[in-house]
């Protein structure tokens, strides 16, 4: 069994946990992720949606037809990016209890990346989504 992945919001009202192994771990630089998180990129751990237990006052917003984003309604912390049609949910790395355990393995949508943010890693960078 994989080690538990746990996390929550800034105020502690929302918590989540899963025993699932990550499907992938990515840093997305697209404009939707920038707007949704208020940050230059959105780093997340992707896991099966049906393997995550969520507690607390989570609000949801559809940022596109296929993707909805979850946040704490008490403090506003970005927590999730859910694609129900694929049974996956992204757990915001900044909301993890142990974020150092989950470094991204690639950068996606770098064509939308901010010019003043440069990467010091040797990870793959894709101008749009990763190869199929």
Residue 119 included in any domain: no
What value does the mean pLDDT take over residues 50-54? 97
Count of domains observed in the chain: 1
Residue 82 included in any domain: yes
Residue 89: the pLDDT is 98
Model confidence at 132, in pLDDT bands (50, 70, 90)? Answer: confident
What is the domain range of residue 21?
A: 5-112
CATH of the domain at 51: 2.170.150.70
Phi and psi torsions of 37, nearest 5° = -100, -15
Residue 124 included in any domain: no
Residue 117 included in any domain: no
Residue 96 included in any domain: yes
Q: What is the pTM of this model?
A: 0.92
Which pLDDT tens digit goes with each residue over 8-49? 999 999 999 999 999 999 999 999 999 999 999 999 999 999
User: What is the arrangement of strands in the sheet containing 52-55, beginning at the earlier edge strand?
Assistant: 5-8, 15-18, 52-55
Residue 123 included in any domain: no
Residue 125 included in any domain: no
Residue 69 included in any domain: yes
């Amino acid at each position: 069994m994989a080690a538990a992945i746990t996390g929550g919001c800034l105020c502690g009202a929302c918590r989540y946990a899963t025993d699932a192994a990550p499907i992938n771990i990515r840093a997305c630089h697209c404009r939707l992720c920038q707007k949704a998180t208020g940050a230059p990129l959105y780093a997340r751990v992707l896991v099966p949606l049906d393997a995550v237990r969520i507690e607390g006052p989570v609000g949801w917003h559809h940022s596109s037809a296929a993707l909805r984003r979850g946040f704490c309604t008490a403090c506003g912390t970005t927590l999730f990016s859910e694609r129900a049609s694929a049974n996956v949910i992204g757990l915001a790395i900044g909301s993890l209890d142990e974020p150092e355990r989950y470094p991204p393995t690639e950068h996606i949508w770098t064509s939308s990346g901010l010019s003043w943010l440069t990467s010091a890693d040797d990870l793959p960078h894709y101008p749009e989504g990763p190869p199929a």
